[in-house]
Amino acid sequence: MRCVVLDGHLLNPGDNPWTELEQLGEVAVYDRTPVSLLLKRAEGAGILLTNKTPLNAEILAALPDLRFVSVLATGYNVVDVATAAKRRIPVSNVPIYGTGTVAQHTFALVLELANRVGLHDRSVHDGDWERSPDWCYWKSPVVELAGRILGLVGGGRIGQAVGRIGAAPGMKIWVTPSRTPGRTPEGWTEKSVGEIFQCADVVSLHCPQTPANTGFVNRALLSTMKPSAFLINTARGGLILEQDLAAALEAKQLAGAAVDVVSAEPIASGNPLLRAPNCILTPHIAWSSLEARRRLMKVTVENVRAFLAGAPINVVNAV
């Protein structure tokens, strides 16, 4: 059965080969697929692999040979899973692959806000230390994390991994309540979203985006934060109303923000966060370590192999 990878460049930019997938049958790999070429490239394929290339109802209807879709990510909103289910096309994802690397990047953002390593490195290279009348200086306050509150909105695998890192320097860990009794680690405190935003020194988002919580980080919620607090988002860009966050940073309602995701990616020149003060932006790279991408590739191959054996795994739609 022919398999087509619609946008494989980020999974394998040259260091994570498709060898095991190619052993399962005929495979065509495209780095990127514009909408104008999607139907031509997918024609006749029984299996499609996509990361961000959308497979909506219209596209699915035009692909009569399609039998299986596997998303090269955990989120699967790029596929119209309901339409796929009606056609009895299972859609699989990769539910676990980047916990450690996302948690690591999250805390890199926390530490950058607390210590401003990049700012001081640029300052030294610009000659500020050489010109300093003192043996040291700082361009922004260094924030000690010990004893401060790390508030996690979402206590799943990634949230818990971030909490464990935060506990190392002695932070107090608050987390939104879990729907699974006993899941919250011992010593952590369950708090509501409102309490976390009002009291935490660092608020970190680790929840999925749903219609109910899209844009929940808005002007009203941001206005409750401490002026010394930091906001981190390595989850989904749509959780935050970006204009409201930019305005809150301008008004110094919080001390800083760091986000790895925005509402529309790649970021547009008109995104207000590009001009917001004390806002660190990274280009959706929290997931991207080679180790994580190798795990993603491994599970993707397992998804395809299981489908070919007649027992699909990691299926996100009922067929």
Q: How far is CA 141 from the centre of its chain?
A: 28
The residues that are catalytic are 236, 265, 284
Instruction: Bin 122: left if φ > 0, else alpha if -120 < ψ < 50, else beta.
Output: alpha
DSSP H helical segments within the chain, as ranges?
A: 19-22, 35-42, 57-61, 81-86, 99-115, 117-125, 128-131, 157-167, 193-199, 219-222, 242-250, 290-308
> Reduced to 3 states, what is the DSSP secondary structure of residue 176?
coil
* Integer angstrom CA distances of residue 176 from 16, 158, 183, 196, 267: 36, 13, 11, 8, 29
User: Contact, 204 vs 225, CB < 8 A?
Assistant: no
Nearest of 51, 147, 148, 167 to residue 103 by alpha carbon: 167
> Reduced to 3 states, what is the DSSP secondary structure of residue 308?
helix
- Secondary structure of 128-175 in HEC code, one letter for each residue: HHHHCCCCCCCCCCCCCCCCCEEEEECCCHHHHHHHHHHHCCCCEEEE
